[in-house]
Amino acid sequence: MLAVAGQRAAIVIDPSLDRVDRNAALAHELIHLERGGGAEHGGMPDDWEAVVARDEAAVDAEVARRLCPLEELIPWAARRVAAGETVEAWQVAEEWGIPERIARLAIRAAGAGVALERLEAAIAALDDEP
């Protein structure tokens, strides 16, 4: 949980969480702090729920990018696939020491990154055609 009062901020992490979940929770709250605090505030109108959901999703995506960087994940996954092995969330979670839900977000981002690389390569190939 992140609490901000003026120039001061406090992050409180549930002590019952294991190391992996504590690290992810801390990263999540630090990113909220970097972004100016969370979108959820006491007494907010009910129709802000969609705004809060978008903010939480954006923060979780950033947590995934930071704790499992694409420049490391994509080559790691490519080596596994080339060796005939699978790439599953639990494997990514183990390799990077992150929760599986964050691993799933990282895999989704890596898929988008690979698709973008393929698109850029296809565009470059078109540019090379006479």
2: helix, strand or coil: strand
Q: How confident is the model at residue 65 (pLDDT cuts 50, 70, 90)?
A: very high
Give the DSSP H/E element, type plus range, for residue 126: helix 100-128
The residues spanned by each domain of the chain are: 1-67, 68-130
9: helix, strand or coil: strand
Q: Please check the confidence at residue 5 and state whether its pLDDT lies above 70.
A: no
**Residue type, position 62, single letter:** E
**In whole angstroms, what is the distance from residue 82 CA to residue 44 CA?**
50
38: helix, strand or coil: coil
Q: How confident is the model at residue 24 (pLDDT cuts 50, 70, 90)?
A: very high
How do residues 87-111 score in pLDDT, each as one tens digit?
899 999 999 999 999 999 999 888 8
| pTM of the entire predicted model | 0.77
b/e for 98-120, b at 16 or more Cβ within 10 A? bbeebbbbbbebbeeeeeeeeee
DSSP character at residue 57: H
Give the Cβ contact number of residue 44 at 10 Å.
12
- pLDDT value, residue 129: 60
* Cα 69 → chain centroid: 9
